[in-house]
Structure 1
């Protein structure tokens, strides 16, 4: 029997205590947040010999759920809506991706005020959308012109955003220069030694670029973002950009850890130069257009992913479905289609299935109902695991000592 408290504590060993305490507190709030924070536990719980093993091998993001899709500016200057988290990316059976998405729909139903019947209906439509997209065999994408419903609402809202507004939310002015806002919600302070090391890293990285002055570091803080990765070594940097104060840019530097999915798949994985290379390479393969400014780097002899933070980066406000199920169905269907398109787009790369195999699988009908049944089993397991976690948390098992 799995000791839930022990597994979670062991997985999170070595993380920054202040942000880890935030993670543990968040995971106590609902089963859906618990699901987001325990990807490693989800895959450890999947039964062997299930319908999952009948699906073709593909590149997956590894942590597919309702909150891991969003908007971003591509390296061609256009804004897209796509999968946006690849920390757990690896080669795996294609249904590993979909089972986690379906489970997130069922587990997240309460947070979204969706009934049990509505959540199951969403699962059925998602499976249908995924299968249909695979069977067509052509990878597509979602940009503003092809978006609808709540995704279109997101694109429309982005028009009103400016870099100055974005900087004002994340920074504060001290005279004529900006500094990062240390609010305990988006950012925490760094000590002088860490600031010097991160600045020196960025100076060295920028020295190899055409415009090193653009990346001159003005300020550094520990970044607070996500749920599963809270506590991982991560920084936000304010850099000069196109000129202070309103032309500044924000960068994210995040340590890349091994995929928590890999120990639970039989598929042989490629040999990567680093975990950061894995994350960035898979992201390049599966996204229709790669995110602007995305690099695998090394800092303090450890792998990190360096990327830009953008005003155009956001998620769909799923709570705004306003009781109109078709609005929510459209978003979930888009997510399922994006899963299929990502798998088609990255097909035939280092062991992943080619399009013909994926088309054939999408045309089959024997895996769809068993997959939904498996998702309901996963939902039940997560509810039980969350209850166990809550009891342990309330009993003080996850108390983290944070130094003043």
Structure 2
């Protein structure tokens, strides 16, 4: 007999337990799910970092938050794909966060420490390359490593049936309740239906180039979505819509991801703090850092909380680098650094890019071609997160016993 799925009132403790379990799977997973610990360290050691121009930063720039995303016309590019922590802040924060994520991924792949040092060199070189020349110039872009080229090629070929098989376990127009999808209350369903009936959501759902912007939109089904790691415990819904009357599922079915917009833990500059509303902050950050994604997002309110919506497209994928060899690790580090550099550089004028490049080229030790502030930060963070991960596993094991 199957165990009954949790009711809305039973969600909170179960989601907390699931989050702890996911973070205990590996040290890399612990880093991905513990942005707070990163910024606690950063607050103590902020004086170590150079101050770059105040721009929109990802705020949670780890490896899994970068990957292929599609725009409304179906064009696929590798961009930052998670902007929950986006703020106006110091671009050095994103570099350190990405460096930590790459270092922990290298440890998970049993790569020697010298390769981690080489990865940091490639990371900063790829980032700096993105800031040279004119923005958008192909000379500022790095060639995709084979491991990422395969993911992009697969993303470009994907259709609705692939998304449905992964997200809703089939292509029928409903969301079957399961371990991933939990029941919602009548009140939640009414609020979701009212939101889906707004003109703003209709415009979002019909924005793709292969849909008619005059089509009607109908809510078919909705469920609470048990997804992510750091977001577990926040409101999260999956809503299935029908757009127009076409029988072609690639154009007529639409899966909307609704996510609570929590307060960012990333430090922001007081001088240019951006929108105060968290959902508006996330959408605005996405428009600057990941244009393909930003044009497919919308801020709203559900259950008295600020949320943001986006249509999930089959082409949206994350990059998985849990198992890399030495050459792949260095290529991926340089490429991902370049992606972040292009997102940052697009917001800077020529003088700002020049000054920031000069800062990045300073303070490089003789034995490693990486700024000393980046290397020292990553080393300290790896030590702190390794200890934190082991303590998390000990506490979780005690609670589960």
- Please classify the TM superposition score into its range, dividing by the shorter chain length: 0.7 to 0.9
> Separation in 2 of the partners of 1:15 and 1:44?
28
> Where does residue 5 of structure 1 map in the other structure?
none
The TM-score with structure 1 as length reference comes to: 0.82
- Of stretches 209-218 and 226-235 in structure 1, the one that deviates more from structure 2 is 209-218
Alignment coverage as a number of residue pairs? 374
Q: State the match for 2:335 in structure 1.
A: 334
**Partner SS, residue 49 of structure 2:** helix
Contact 1:140 1:288 in 2 (8 A): no
Aligned 1:5-404 pairs, distance under 5 A: 16-46=12-42, 47-136=44-133, 138-139=135-136, 147-171=144-168, 178-185=173-180, 187-205=181-199, 209=203, 214-242=216-244, 243=246, 246=249, 247-262=252-267, 267-319=270-322, 321=324, 323=325, 325-347=326-348, 354-366=352-364, 368-396=371-399
Deviates more, 1:370-379 or 1:213-222: 213-222
For residue 305 of structure 1, give the secondary structure of its aligned residue in structure 2: strand
Aligned-partner Cα distance in 1 for 2:120–2:202: 48
Matches of 1:124 and 1:33, distance apart in 2: 24
Q: CA deviation at 1:267?
A: 4.6
Match of 2:6 in 1: none
TM-score, length of structure 2 as denominator length? 0.83
Could you tell me how far 1:205 is from its partner in structure 2? 4.4
Shift of 1:129: 1.9
Spell out structure 1 runs of 4+ moving beyond 6 A. Answer: none
Q: CA deviation at 1:233?
A: 0.4
Distance 2:275 2:200 in 1: 24
SS of 2:273's partner is coil
**CA distance, structure 2, for counterparts of residue 248 and residue 127 of structure 1:** 42
Q: Aligned residue for 1:4?
A: none
Give 1:358 shift: 2.7
Listed one character per residue, the Cα deviations across residues 264-312 of structure 1 (whole Å, up to 9, x for unaligned) are: x565342515111111111111225444521122234422111000110
Instruction: Name the stretch that deviates more: 386-395 or 371-380.
Output: 386-395
Conserved 8 A contact 2:106-2:329:
no
Partner Cα separation in structure 1 for residue 201 and residue 393 of structure 2: 49
- Looking at structure 2, the residues matched to 202 and 288 of structure 1 have their Cα atoms a distance apart, in angstroms, of 23
For residue 318 of structure 1, report the CA deviation from its aligned partner: 1.8
8 Å Cα contact 2:86/2:264 also seen in 1 = yes
Superposed displacement of residue 339, structure 1: 1.5
In structure 2, C-alpha distance between the alignment counterparts of 1:357 and 1:299, rounded to whole Å: 43
Secondary structure class of the residue paired with 1:268: coil
SS in 2 for 1:361: helix
What SS does the corresponding residue of 1:178 show, helix, strand or coil? coil
Deviations 1:205-241 (A, max 9, x none): 4576485754311010112322211221011111012
Provide the rounded CA distance (Å) in 1 between the counterparts of 2:168 and 2:392.
Answer: 36
Q: Please give the root-mean-square deviation of Cα atoms over the aligned residues, in Å.
A: 3.1
> Equivalents in 2 of 1:138, 1:86: separation in Å?
22
Whether the aligned pair in 1 keeps the contact of 2:69 and 2:293 (CA below 8 Å) is no
Give the gaps of 5 or more residues in structure 1: 1-13, 400-404
Q: Would the alpha carbon gap of residues 77 and 32 (structure 1) be closer, same or farther in structure 2, given more than 3 Å must change? A: same
